[in-house]
Chains A and B, each alone.
Chain A
Amino acid sequence: GENVEQHPSTLSVQEGDSAVIKCTYSDSASNYFPWYKQELGKRPQLIIDIRSNVGEKKDQRIAVTLNKTAKHFSLHITETQPEDSAVYFCAASNSGGSNYKLTFGKGTLLTVNP
């Protein structure tokens, strides 16, 4: 089955700095890579996703890059703000069938210091 590794497990930055979180996956058939943000005591929320036919996607201060050859993808947050503090999970899936299964990374606790 799919295995997703995520680094770092914790990341502390100053407000305004950039933050980068990296993930690698094992199954070359995986074709969908979402990122979820989970604030303490709240639900995971999808913040950005990318499919395997795209190398980069951007949404305001958030961007995701994908390198299919190396089987890794990264989340980039620019101009970080205290409200970006949360746990971020990457995930991977092969959405080819009706039995859809996401495999999550172990998460990164991001702390943005004012």
Chain B
Amino acid sequence: DTEVTQTPKHLVMGMTNKKSLKCEQHMGHRAMYWYKQKAKKPPELMFVYSYEKLSINESVPSRFSPECPNSSLLNLHLHALQPEDSALYLCASSQIRREKLFFGSGTQLSVL
């Protein structure tokens, strides 16, 4: 299995809602990542987990809360988002100290 699976594929939420994005991989990768991508822009790194521990937080606002319950799963909890947070949210994974990132298909998020 060489897939990174993300759910849901599309999400529309209001500014007062709480929602979660989910990511799963079964490649035995111990590094997992959240990226945010605006249209026609490159992916921007948000968070990195290494061995289920948060190792990089790129100064992301606290309305985004990551969680890594186990080595296969990565969640991103969303609360009180702003319309400018609307974007494609990509999950990725890699082996530790290995450079190749495997991206999921992403969740297209719209905040109304």
Contact = CB atoms under 8 A, between A and B. Distances in A.
Contacts, number: 57
Nearest to B50: A98
A101 B99 contact: no
B99 A95 contact: yes
A104 B98 CA distance: 17
Interface in A63-114: 87, 89, 93, 95, 97-102, 104-107, 109
A51 to B, nearest CB: 8
Dominant secondary structure at the B interface: loop
B55 A99 contact: yes
Assign chain A's interface to a size class.
20 to 34
**Which interface residue of A89, A100, A102 has the most chain B CB atoms within 10 A?**
A100
A80 to B, nearest CB: 21
A101 B99 CA distance: 9
A101 B105 CA distance: 20
Contacts of B50: 98-99
B66 interface: no
Interface of B: 31, 40-43, 45, 48, 50, 55-56, 90, 94, 96-106
Given A46-B101, A93-B99, A99-B48, 19 more contacts: A34-B101, A42-B105, A43-B103, A43-B105, A44-B90, A46-B100, A89-B42, A89-B43, A95-B97, A95-B99, A97-B97, A98-B96, A99-B50, A99-B55, A99-B56, A100-B97, A101-B45, A106-B41, A106-B42
